[in-house]
Amino acid sequence: MPERFATVADYLDAQPQARRADIESMRAVVREADPSLTEVVKWNSPNYILDGVDRLTVNAAGKGPVRLILHFGTEREEDKGAASSFTGDPDGLLTWHSDIRASLPLPADDDLAAKRPAIVWVIRAWLAEP
């Protein structure tokens, strides 16, 4: 599928104001967790690369909350029926979709400040996974 947006700025400019604010909140949490990540547009969404591997993608499609997808790009084999061995989510923030892919919904504004440290912790733990 060809990319619809050339840059993250193009992507953001195309978002409704309320959705854009949520996306910016998620981006800020990701940058807090690891400011060295490379941010690009991939899969028509902001995507974060660590050491040449896609590791995080913001998913703002649909009507639900903005979500951060934690993954290992497309190179690693995925088993949708298997449980993950990831232990870096002590607060149970993640919803697992396979052994190597999970999503983390952006909390509502009134809950984000309280959950932000735990979200940053989970992102850092995920990025430390080999």
Domain CATH code at residue 15 = 3.90.1150.200
Note whether residue 83 is domain-resident: no
The pLDDT of residue 115 is: 97
Note whether residue 122 is domain-resident: yes
Confidence of residue 22 (pLDDT cuts 50, 70, 90): very high
The pLDDT of residue 63 is: 87
Note whether residue 3 is domain-resident: no
Count of domains for the chain: 1
Note whether residue 91 is domain-resident: no
Note whether residue 63 is domain-resident: yes
pLDDT digits (tens, 9 = 90+) for 50-70: 999 999 999 999 889 999 999
Note whether residue 86 is domain-resident: no
The pLDDT of residue 62 is: 86
Note whether residue 44 is domain-resident: yes
Would you say residue 1 has pLDDT above 60? no
Q: Which domain holds residue 104?
A: 8-78+100-128
Note whether residue 33 is domain-resident: yes
Q: Label each residue of the chain as H, E or C.
A: CCCCCCCHHHHHHCCCHHHHHHHHHHHHHHHHHCCCCEEEEECCEEEEEECCEEEEEEECCCCCCCEEEECECECCCCCCCCCCCCCCCCCCCCEECCCCCEEEECCCHHHHHHHHHHHHHHHHHHHHCC
Average the pLDDT over 1-18 and give the result.
Answer: 88
pLDDT digits (tens, 9 = 90+) for 88-114: 999 999 999 999 999 999 999 889 999
The pLDDT of residue 15 is: 95
